[in-house]
Chain A
């Protein structure tokens, strides 16, 4: 069945370093969504990408959707403690479900 793979599972960074998480789909996606879940919290929608090759920025966060619409990435520049959490990508499945990646946990080293 349709799968969305997300890597890495964890990323440890020093505050101020950059962070990137990658998503790959087994099928072409009509769109891809990104969510953030703070520790102990619930997922919160960040953005949706729709167009092939689309790049969107939200302050220090840059989201990309691949030309083939099968992969996507989220890059955070100069991480801050407020960025800590797990970042999920999700693509549309059958019957208007979302197929979720396993998430990448961003950990800031003390």
Chain B
């Protein structure tokens, strides 16, 4: 089955620790995105990547980092510099490369709690 996987579903970390969230897709999509969602809120864009080895900051990139070494994978690192990291993190991908506004497909998300 094609899709987007995020692991783990729930993640607990101590304050001050970096943590990396996994996002893998086998849809052969060019573009991938990371969003943050706080309770009762909408989606805020953290980082996005249109193509391998290239990514851009979204609206709330401070305290986060990403890499895009493979088309299938777009891991997100939440660093200790992120002041309020507890949130629901959603990864998405989109077909069509950089020239279209196709729908985005979402993974199931990772709920990060920093204690």
Contacts and interface: CB of A to CB of B under 8 A. Distances in A.
Query: Do A and B assemble together?
Result: yes
Interface of A: 30-31, 33, 41-45, 48, 88, 92, 95-98, 100-103, 105
Contacts of B94: 96
Interface string B42-69: 1101001010000010100000000000
B58 A97 contact: yes
B100 A43 contact: no
Contacts of B104: 43, 45, 98
Contacts of A30: 101
Contacts, number: 49
B42 A103 contact: yes
A92 B101 contact: yes
A33 B43 CA distance: 14
A43 B48 CA distance: 17
B50 A96 contact: yes
Contacts of B100: 96
B41 A102 contact: yes
Cβ-closest 8 pairs across A and B: A45-B103, A42-B106, A102-B42, A92-B101, A100-B43, A103-B42, A100-B42, A43-B106
